[in-house]
Amino acid sequence: MVDRCIKWAGWIFLILIMLCPCLLLYYSFPLIKKTSISEIFFSTWDPDNHIFGLYSFIITSFLIGILSTIISFIIGFGVSVNIYLSKSKLLKNFITFMTGIPTVVYAFIGLLVLVPIVRKYTPSPTGLSIFTVVIVLSILILPTIVLYIVETFDTVSLEIRETALSLGATEEQFLKKILIPHSSRGIAISFILGFGRAISDTMVALILSGNSLNTPNSIFSSARALTSHIALLMPGEFDSLEFKSIFFSGLIFIFIMLLLNILIRKFEK
């Protein structure tokens, strides 16, 4: 009886997940019918002229996601190696603690501490820019990258490390010849997970990006990410085409996450 209930619950959950993109597509249809998919993807946002393009928001989201993931991955890889070699429980526990800090706390710390510095020392007139978002997001996604890489490193047993060192291998040789090659797939997956976490974040981009409607021409430009666009239009009129654009934005995110999960499954195999 219990097994049957669990099985049916699993099927119901799967059906609900499959219905999500169908529901988003249904509510996006008035916007698609009024304009076109190509116009949505390759036009800029100008509702006063009945243009509902998401191009600048998509570009901003990918720019923020890629830059923050690269920065966080470089730092996170070094931290992961340090945790593995030193077996530092204190550092690992601190990184684990960071995962429990709400996103809005990172955003407000960035607003109070980082924004004045960016405003003073960069071309950004307000300090609210892509650069600010990237710095805060790179810290936000750091635990995701570090903890996954550490878990991957832990699959290389201590005996293998001690055997390599007893045969005369240096720590550098052990890293290059054994640890990194053995963990390469897990390292790649950590990058994908970090990117997915960065591009889907809402609060940091909403508070720190400046939410300009223009396509960014530098990292110090104010811009609006796709997640911020959804949050800003939520209080809008439900029947308007502007509001329908948030459903299409949700479809875009589902497609992105689907691609990322396919990549992860491919690396896992």
Q: What is the token pair recorded at 59?
A: 């570009």
User: Which range, 13-22, 57-66, 96-105, has the best average confidence (pLDDT)?
Assistant: 57-66
Please tell me the predicted confidence (pLDDT) of residue 1.
66
Residue 72 near residue 139, CB atoms below 8 Å: yes
pTM of the model: 0.90
Q: What is the pLDDT of residue 48?
A: 84
pLDDT of residue 2: 67
CATH classification of 57-233 is 1.10.10.60, yes or no?
no
Residue of higher predicted confidence among 53 and 161:
53
Q: Where are the domains of the chain?
A: 57-233
pLDDT digits (tens, 9 = 90+) for 145-192: 999 999 998 887 777 777 877 888 787 888 888 888 888 999 999 999
